[in-house]
Structure 1
Amino acid sequence: MSKNSLSWIAVAPDAPYFIDGDGADWTPIGQNDAISWPELAGLFRRRDLPAVEAHLRWLVEHGVTCLRLMIEYAQVRHRYFERPAGTAVPAMVRLWDDLFAMCERVGMRILLTPVDTFWMWLHWRHHPWNAAHGGPLDHPSRLLLCPETRGAIKARLSFIIERWGGSGALFAWDLWNEIHPAQAQGRADGFGDFIADLSQHVRRLEQRLYGRSHPQTVSLFGPEWWTRPDLPIAEPIFRHPDLDFASIHIYRHGAIDDPRDTVAPALAMGEVVQRCLAEIADGRPFLDTEHGPIHRFKDKHQTLPEAFDDEYFRHMSWAHLAAGGVGGGMRWPNRHPHVLTPGMRRAQRAMAAFLPLIDWRHMRRASVAITVRGHHGFACGDDAQAVAWIVRRRALLPDGRVDRAPGKPARVDLAMPDGRYRVTDWDTEPGRVIASAEHVASGGLLRFTAEAVCGDRAFAVRRIG
C-alpha cells in the first residue's frame, strides 16, 4: 500500500548508529506510545484522524523521529489485532492503514513489535490466541515453545509485512517484546532458536517482496539479565547473528523504577548502557527501548511531580547518549494521563538540535574516560570525535532535583588522542550552544574549562584537520 515516500533506515556500514536512504545520519528520538493512549486514541474507528495527524506533525517539529508501538496493545479487549486467531480485525487493519499513511506524510517512523506480551499475559483469559477461544495455546508460559503458536506469530508477521512492510515509515522490528524465561517455562536456552526462526522468516519475506529488509532487534526486560546470571540471556540479546541492533528495557530497581532524585537514575542508565556495550562483540548499535518510573507508577500508583520528572527524563536521556547508546532511549510514560510532559518534549527537541554536531555515521564509539571535579560524567567516542555529559555532584534540592544555581567553571579532562579539537559546550535544558572553542590534546588528554555549569552540560568534541 505504501508509495515509499520515506526512505528506509539502515545500520551505518562503518559505525554503530543509523542512516537513512540517502546515507545521512538518522537517530531514533522518541518514546513508547500505544494505539489506545490519549494522543493516538483518535485512530480507532477513525474517531479523530485530523487530531492524530496534527499531533504527529507537532512531534516532528519537536525533533521526534520515532515511536515504539505494538501492533496489538492488549490492555483493553477491543484492540486485539485478530479475532478469532488468524483473522485480522478490519477496524484494526484500517487503523494501521491510516497510521502508516500519516507517518509517511509527516516523516515519522515506527519501531514495531507484533505482540504486547505484558498485557497478553495478564489478560490471557480474554486473548484470541487462548485455546479456550479457539487459539493455539493453553497457557502463555509456553509462548516460545508451542509450534502452533509459533505459526500464529509468523502468520501475523507475514500479514504486517505484506501490507505495511514496504513502507519507509517502518524503522525497525522489535521481533518480540520483552522475551522472558517465563514464556518458556522458566528457561532461556531456547531464546536463540526462537529469535532465529522469527528473524529469518521476516527477512526472507521482506527480501522476496521488497528486495531488502528492515533492521531487527528483540527486547528484554533488563532486570532478568542482571538478576538471573544463571540463565544464558546475554548471547541471544547482544550477539545473536540474525539481529542488527541490541535493545533492553532499563528498569533499574530503585534508581530508575522508583527514583528519589534525578542524578542516581542517570548514573544507573549510563552504567547499564556501558555494561551492554561491553557485551556486544561486533560493534552493533545499542538503544534502550523502555525505561521510566514503572514501580512508582504501576505498583505505588503515584505520578512523579512534573518538574522532577522532566529533569529525571532529561538526565537519563543524556546519560544514555553519552554512554554510547543511540539517541536518548525510549520512555514508557508511566504518568497519568499516559503521555509525555511538555518539558520532556522540549528535552527531545534540545537533543535533536545537538545531534548534528557529531558525525554519527562515522563514529566508532567506545567508552571514553572523563574526569570533572565536582561532577559525574559519561563520554563515548573514537579517535576523532566524542560526546560527553556531566551533572553536578552533591547539589540536590530538597525535592531531589539538582540545584541549578551557577557554579564555578568546571575543568573537564577527556581521554583523547593528541591533536586539535573543537569543543562545543551545549546547554541541555534550552538546547543551545553556550560556547565553541578550539583546544589541544596532549599526552592523551584533552583538557578544557566549561563555563559555570548550572546542573548539567553536554559537549560535542570534533578533531580539526
Structure 2
Amino acid sequence: GVATRFSTVKWQVAFRASYRDLFDPVDICVGVRVTSPSGRNLEVPGFFAGLCRLPESAFREAEAAAPRPAWGPFKSSGKKDGKNDAGKTGARAAASGVVDPEAGQESRNPEDSSGKLPEDVLPAWTVLFTPQETGRYTLQPYIRNRVGETRTPERSLVVGPEASAAAEPGRRGGQMRVSRIDPRHFELQDGTPFFIVGQNVCWTTDWNPYLERMKGYGANACRIWLCPWGLNLERQTAPGTYDLQEAERLDALLAKAEATGVRIILCLTFHGMNADEWHRSPYNQANGGPCARPQEFFTDGQAKRQFKRLLTYAAARWGASPALLCWELMNELDLARYDHPDDAGHWAREMAGHLKRVDAHGHPVTVSVSNTSFQPELWEDNRIDFISVHAYGTEVGPLLARSLGPFLLANKPVLLGEFGGGWEAADDIPDRDGARLQAALWLTACSPYGGLALPWWWDTYIEARGLYPVLSAAARFTAGEDRRGRYREQVRKDLGNGAEVWGAMDVCGGRFYVHRPGWVRHPESRGPRLLSVPVPLELRGLMDGAYRIDYWDARTGHAFAAQDGTASDGVLRLELPAHAAEFGVKVERRERPRLELR
C-alpha cells in the first residue's frame, strides 16, 4: 500500500479462534510487526472493536484447512440499544447490535436462542499504525492465542512525505515529543517547537464546544480524565473489560482534537479511585476486583496486570493518533492511599515502563503530583518523560516559586498541569475578572518551563465567567515562539511601589511580566493604574549589542509600545512605561551570536 507520513493506516480482521477473554492480550492478540525504513522493529498491537457480520464471500476454506482470517474493512456498529457488554468468554462478549457490511444496516439480536452467535457474526479487531518515517515499510500481520500464532504474508507499505497543507491541525507535524534540541521543552516530530497552551476539561457530556472555543483562543492542549462521571472506560463490575461505547466517545474526542489542533493529555486514572471513590473501583474486591484495600492497588500482582491490560488497550486504540499529546498514568499520585510512598513510586515507574513497551508510537509518559517533595526520584527516571505539578492558592507568585522552583535545574520539561485559586469551586468565584488566572498564565509564560499553566474549574469559573479572553491574551504573547535553548534563568525584582517584575532570561534577551502581587491576592483591589510613571529597569548579564523591546498588555494580549535599546558592558537600561494594566515585556537581541571555528 501507499500512505503519507503521520497519516494513519487501518486494518480490520475477523476470525475464529480459541480464547476466553477478548481483552486479554495473552489469551488472544492481533497485531502487525513493522520494520521501518531505518530498520526499527515495532510491534503494533490491535484491539477488540466489537462484532461484525461477514458477507458470505469473506471465508474461503481450502480442503481440510481452517478458515482464513477475513480482513476488513468492516462497518462499525451503529446506534446501540444500551451499554456495550463486551467482556469475558464466548459469544455474549458482544455489542448489542452488529452490522451486515453487504446490506449496510444494523442487525439486532444476533444471538440465536441458545445464546450462541451465528456463524457469520464474529468479533472484529482493528490495528492502527501511523508511520513516522518516509520510505518502504515491511508489515507482518499476525494472530496469536495460547495455542500458537498464525501469520499472513508480509506486505509492503511505501510512505511519502507529509502532505502538511492537507493535514488536519492535530496531525500536522506528527505527535509531540521531548525536544531533541533542548530537553526542557517539547517539539513535534517534524521539529516544530511546541509550547503547551490550554486548560483542563477533564469531564463533560460534550467536549466539542470546549475544543472549538480552545481552538479559537489559540490553545493546543486539553487535559482529559478517565473517571466514573466522565469517560468511564473500565467497567466497574467486570474488571479488565471495557465499555466500547465509552471507547467510541474517546475515538470521537480524538477525531475532534485532530480537526481542531487541540491535542489531548489523557489521564488514565485519578487518585480518588484509590481513596474516596474506592467503592466505584473495578480493582475493589466488592466489584469483582483483586484488592481488599485501596492500598493494594499499587502492590497486588493481579491489580498491576489488570492496569497493564488497560494501558495495552489504550495504546492500541488511541496511540496511533498524533492528537494524543501524552499519557498521564494517574492524577495526583501523592494523594492516593498507599502503605508506603515507595509503593506508589515503584508502581508509576513500572507502569511507565509498560507503556513504553506497548505504545509503538512512543508518546511521552508522565504522572502528576501536588506535593513537589513526593518521590523525587520519579523525575530522575527516564521512563517518566516530563514533570507535571498541580498548585492551588491565591498567592500565585510564591505558589509557583514553591511548586515549580524545585525543578529549575531539571533536565526535563516541567508543566503546571492544574492551577486554581483554591481547591474548592467557590474559591475562584470572588475573582470575577480572572486576576489570578491571568497571573498564573503570564508568570508561567515568563518562566523557563514547557508551557502555560493549565487552569482547572473550566465550567464553574472559566465558562461561567466568560474568561476565555484571559486565556487568549496569554496565548497570543507566546504564539509562534521557539523557546528551545532559551531563557533558562528565572529572575525577579521588586520595583518598590507594590509592583514587581518576574521573568526568564538568557544572554540574548528574556520574557518578563510586570504586575502587582497585591492585585492577585485581593482581586477586588485592582486599581486604575499599574504604573503611574515610567520606572527604570536594568537587565544585567546580556551580550552587548542592539536590542528590541516590545510591551504587551496582559489583559488584551496585544503589543502597545516598542523601543530600541543597546546593551553595553552587559547592561541594558530601559524604562518600563506608565500603563494601566499588567503587561508583558519581550526583550530580544537584534542579532543572534554566531558560533564558529577559525
TM-score in same-fold range (> 0.5): yes
Q: Distance in 2 between matches of 1:288 and 1:397?
A: 19
SS at match of 2:219: coil
Give the aligned partner of residue 24 of structure 1: 192
Give the aligned partner of residue 70 of structure 2: none
Q: Distance in 2 between matches of 1:328 and 1:396?
A: 17
The one-letter code matched in structure 2 to 1:322 is: C
Q: Is the 8 Å Cα contact of residues 418 and 440 (structure 1) preserved in structure 2? A: no
Q: Is the 8 Å Cα contact of residues 74 and 119 (structure 1) preserved in structure 2? A: no
Give the aligned partner of residue 193 of structure 1: 346
- Is 1:235 aligned with 2:388? no
**Structure 1 residues 58 and 74, CA, compared in 2 at 3 Å: closer, same or farther?**
same
Measured after TM superposition, the shift of residue 303 of structure 1 is 5.2
Measured after TM superposition, the shift of residue 32 of structure 1 is 1.3
Larger radius of gyration: 2
- Is 1:62 aligned with 2:217? yes
Q: Which runs of 4+ in 1 moved over 6 A?
A: 395-398
Measured after TM superposition, the shift of residue 291 of structure 1 is 1.7
Give the aligned partner of residue 456 of structure 2: 332
**Structure 1 residues 129 and 422, CA, compared in 2 at 3 Å: closer, same or farther?**
same
**1:59-458 map, 5 Å:** 59-70=214-225, 72-75=226-229, 79-83=232-236, 84-119=238-273, 121-180=275-334, 182-185=336-339, 187-207=340-360, 210=361, 213-222=362-371, 225=372, 233-236=375-378, 238-251=379-392, 256=393, 259=394, 264-278=395-409, 280=410, 282=411, 284-297=412-425, 301=426, 304-305=429-430, 307-308=432-433, 310-333=434-457, 336=460, 339-341=462-464, 343-356=466-479, 358-363=481-486, 365-368=488-491, 370=493, 372-374=495-497, 375-392=499-516, 400-405=524-529, 407-419=532-544, 420-458=546-584
Structure with the higher fraction of residues in strand conformation? 2
Measured after TM superposition, the shift of residue 392 of structure 1 is 2.6
Q: Is the 8 Å Cα contact of residues 506 and 542 (structure 2) preserved in structure 1? A: no
Q: Distance in 1 between matches of 2:254 and 2:307?
A: 21
User: How many residues matched?
Assistant: 419
The farther-off stretch of 434-443 and 284-293 is 434-443
The one-letter code matched in structure 2 to 1:28 is: I
Deviation sequence 1:110-153 (CA, Å, 0-9, x none) = 11111122255212113222111111222212222222111111
Measured after TM superposition, the shift of residue 62 of structure 1 is 0.9
RMSD of the alignment, in Å? 2.6
Deviation sequence 1:390-418 (CA, Å, 0-9, x none) = 21365689754421325211222333323
**Structure 1 residues 425 and 399, CA, compared in 2 at 3 Å: closer, same or farther?**
closer
Measured after TM superposition, the shift of residue 441 of structure 1 is 2.4
SS at match of 2:417: coil
Q: Distance in 1 between matches of 2:198 and 2:357?
A: 29
The one-letter code matched in structure 2 to 1:272 is: S
SS at match of 1:136: coil
Structure 2: stretches of 5+ with no match in the other structure: 1-9, 11-127, 131-167, 592-598
The one-letter code matched in structure 2 to 1:61 is: G
The one-letter code matched in structure 1 to 2:177 is: A
Q: Distance in 1 between matches of 2:540 and 2:367?
A: 33
Deviation sequence 1:251-278 (CA, Å, 0-9, x none) = 3xxxx1xx3xxxx323422453223324
Q: Is the 8 Å Cα contact of residues 28 and 327 (structure 1) preserved in structure 2? A: yes
The one-letter code matched in structure 1 to 2:508 is: A
Measured after TM superposition, the shift of residue 296 of structure 1 is 4.2
Q: Distance in 2 between matches of 1:197 and 1:395?
A: 44
**Structure 1 residues 403 and 275, CA, compared in 2 at 3 Å: closer, same or farther?**
farther
Q: Is the 8 Å Cα contact of residues 431 and 524 (structure 2) preserved in structure 1? A: no
The one-letter code matched in structure 2 to 1:365 is: R
Structure with the higher fraction of residues in helix conformation? 1
Q: Distance in 1 between matches of 2:271 and 2:358?
A: 24
Q: Distance in 2 between matches of 1:165 and 1:440?
A: 49
TM-score by length of 2: 0.65
Q: Distance in 1 between matches of 2:518 and 2:553?
A: 20
Deviation sequence 1:359-386 (CA, Å, 0-9, x none) = 3133252223545343222211322231
Q: Distance in 2 between matches of 1:334 and 1:345?
A: 10
Q: Distance in 1 between matches of 2:560 and 2:495?
A: 18
TM-score by length of 1: 0.82
Flag the structure with more relative contact order, 1 or 2, with Cα contacts below 8 A and sequence separation at least 6: 1
Deviation sequence 1:214-236 (CA, Å, 0-9, x none) = 112111123xx45xxxxx62221
Give the aligned partner of residue 42 of structure 2: none
Q: Distance in 2 between matches of 1:357 and 1:448?
A: 25
**Structure 1 residues 124 and 450, CA, compared in 2 at 3 Å: closer, same or farther?**
same
The farther-off stretch of 13-22 and 167-176 is 13-22
**Structure 1 residues 405 and 381, CA, compared in 2 at 3 Å: closer, same or farther?**
closer
Structure 1: stretches of 5+ with no match in the other structure: 43-51, 227-231
Measured after TM superposition, the shift of residue 12 of structure 1 is 1.7
